[in-house]
Amino acid sequence: MTYTEILANVRSYMGVDSNKWSTTKITVSVNKALDKIAGYAIGADKTFRWDDTNHSKLPIGTTNLVASQQRYSFLTDEQSNRILTLTGVSRITSAGTEVKLDPVDSVGYEAEINDYRLTTGTPLYYDKIGDNVIELLPKSDTSVTSGLKFYFQRSPSYFTTSDTTKEPGFSPELNEYIVLCAALEGAIALGLSNLAPIRDQHDVEAERMVQYFTRRNEDSQPFRLQGRVMDCR
């Protein structure tokens, strides 16, 4: 469904034209719906790395590894999309080899973690201490250009009022949910007489969205990887 079709379908559900409900207002509502889908996709399945296919770059970034720097923050990617959650961190050696860092949780293990905080050396672990803020354990004793590689999930690719042929960057099964979200918000704002049936249809599509993410990875089987761990749970 192109954005021109999304706009037409929203107004069709509402029974209004562009004079009564502008493209700007619909675009705000549509982008809110994209955020809802992204939030649900990320929270529904931790084994599936959801991403909006309209993004032209992969959800992978690098930053400089700085000697004696403990904390690093990851707020946006190279295209200024908001990073919603980190999914992994690696260090890159001076020879270009990628070495995965193990995540640890310092809660309840402050004494053990402090031993790492007070030293420098080769980073082995990282501790998430806030929204996309990490501490390296231990902090690096050398600086390496682009020496930290991070993996993440980010905000969707939003629509603008000038879009026409652009389509949502995920399954077409979710297009109707986007339309109904925008139509419902408009119907509430205008106090439309057909608010109730729009709400009912919205709820149907919301349930379909839940079912979509529930069944998406039916072919996946759980497995366990053996590797180096630090018992800081």
**pLDDT tens track, the chain, 233 positions:** 999 999 999 999 999 999 999 999 999 999 999 999 999 888 876 666 789 999 999 999 999 999 999 999 999 999 999 999 999 999 999 999 999 999 998 776 777 788 888 899 999 999 998 888 999 999 999 999 999 999 999 999 999 999 999 999 999 999 999 999 999 999 999 999 999 999 999 999 999 998 888 876 554 444 333 333 333 33
β pairing state of 83-92 and 144-154: antiparallel
Residues 187 and 141 in one domain: no
232 domain-assigned: no
Q: How many structural domains does the chain have? A: 2
- The label of the residue with tokens 């979509």 reads 212
40 domain-assigned: yes
Residues 47 and 161 in one domain: yes
Burial 143-163 (b: 16+ CB within 10 A, else e): ebeebbbbbbbbbbbbbeeeb
230 domain-assigned: no
What is the value of pTM for the model shown? 0.84
Residues 185 and 171 in one domain: yes
Contacts of 181 (CB under 8 A, 6+ apart): 29, 30, 32, 33, 36, 202
Residues 108 and 142 in one domain: yes
β pairing state of 139-140 and 144-154: unpaired
Residues 49 and 162 in one domain: yes
Q: How many residues does the chain have?
A: 233
101 domain-assigned: yes
β pairing state of 102-104 and 71-73: unpaired
What's the confidence (pLDDT) of residue 120? 95
For residue 65, list its beta bridge partners: 144
100 domain-assigned: yes
What's the confidence (pLDDT) of residue 216? 64
Burial 175-214 (b: 16+ CB within 10 A, else e): bbbbbbbbbbbbbeeeebeebeebeebbeebbeebeebbe
What's the confidence (pLDDT) of residue 228? 38
What's the confidence (pLDDT) of residue 47? 65
Which residues form the domain of 41?
A: 3-53+156-215
The total of other beta-carbon atoms located within 10 Å of residue 5's CB is: 14
β pairing state of 120-121 and 139-140: parallel
Residues 48 and 107 in one domain: no
Name the nearest CA neighbour of 102 among 201, 233, 228. 228
Residue 188, phi then psi, degrees to nearest 5: -65, -45
Q: How far apart are CA 205 and CA 194, in angstroms?
A: 17
C-alpha torsion 148→150→154→157, nearest 10: 70
- Asked which of 125, 154, 183 is the last residue of a domain, the reply is 154
What's the confidence (pLDDT) of residue 110? 77
Residues 147 and 71 in one domain: yes
Contacts of 222 (CB under 8 A, 6+ apart): none
223 domain-assigned: no
